[in-house]
Structure 1
């Protein structure tokens, strides 16, 4: 269990997409899973870079942390952190962001019962890392789903051309966002084209981080 001499980049936490100087679109990711993975990578001797969205967590020992806010900022910092041997995309990155950010607080207009926001797609960090010329030897993505977890995870594995996907069900007590515990289903494409699968947990996220890195080490090309 060693990553000595390797460079590992981990993204963690949510992104906040600003609407105006007061409000933003965000999600409930606490960053605990990604921070646990970064800490475990550093303990294994890796040069570890942690790209963190807005969270309230201490920086793990031996980890170089870069704080960001938006999906666009996270995309730029992660790509700038390449080349690396391993990338773990554990962040819950917003899929959409407001097309325009208001320069002053959006006010209620008398007589209007609704506010219409136009959203545009954010950069796809995981897919862009996977197809970059400096592509890490192992690219591991996360899929947080509320239903049809296996189907969405397998689809993401192929669509984004990554090496592994760690999927978890959110929206239930005791796992996923904001919890100290989690359960993961990890998928990867074997050499013969079939899909491998391993279930990890339920267990504390700190334990899952080590179990997940064990699987990463197994798939690191010699």
Structure 2
């Protein structure tokens, strides 16, 4: 039986980014990378050539997948652009929205007033950047939206704002980030689908199957 994603290149981001404040501190989030890694494995199981650009996680590299390890949002964007072209881009990573404007080369002492007024600058919007590429845009661009309320409405607005084809939205007000299960809403131009809570591997397999059908 033919593998439905054979001959396709799927590019995925996963995990958090870490934005350094000084040599011992950074800005980050609770993303474990589990959902992105599961999607990478599910796409590979359908025959795709998969490139996984991963922020810092405790997860082992999935077998048979090219993994590029990065730390910051700037490094993630550079790695994604280097890995293009791709048939599909899936932006699962929880990228830090902001980074310190001028990370210190030495540890900032706790008694310094600068700690309470740390200047920040905006990180690149990786999903929006790839969605708006003129020449090397993947045929299918899928974003993720981690929300704590009004999940469907906020995800629908995000899909239009970012210019991507699909958004996978999940409610992270519980134990999703770091947990073994997920419940998501898939938002496409045709409408929304609510997928019941299931192990992240099952969510990944269902998404990979939908991607194969779309291609």
How many pairs does the alignment contain? Answer: 212
Unaligned runs of 5+ in 2: none
SS in 1 for 2:117: coil
Q: Are residues 74 and 113 of structure 1, via their aligned partners in 2, closer, same or farther at CA, if it must alter by over 3 Å? A: closer
Name the Cα RMSD after superposition: 1.4
CA distance in 1, matches of 2:63, 2:45: 8
Q: Could you list the runs of 5+ residues in structure 1 that have no partner in the other structure?
A: 191-195
Alpha-carbon offset, residue 109 of structure 1: 2.6
Give the Å deviation of 1:212.
Answer: 0.9
Note if 1:59 corresponds to 2:31: no
Q: What is the distance in 1 between the residues matched to 2:62 and 2:154?
A: 31
Match of 2:45 in 1: 43
Q: TM-score, normalising length from structure 2? A: 0.95
Shift of 1:219: 2.2
Runs of 4+ residues deviating >6 angstroms: none
Match of 2:193 in 1: 198
Is the 2:108–2:115 contact (alpha carbons within 8 Å) kept by the matching residues of 1? no
Equivalent position of 2:210 in the other structure: 215
Q: Of residues 71, 77, 80 in structure 2, which corresponds to 1:78? A: 80
Indicate how the Cα distance of structure 1 residues 37 and 114 shifts in structure 2: closer, same or farther if over 3 A, else same: closer
Which residue of the partner structure matches residue 131 of structure 1?
132
Contact 2:28 2:96 in 1 (8 A): yes
For the residue of structure 2 that corresponds to 1:115, the secondary structure is helix
**Contact 2:101–2:119 at 8 Å: present in 1 too?**
yes
- Superposition TM-score, scaled by structure 1 size: 0.92
Match of 1:179 in 2: 179
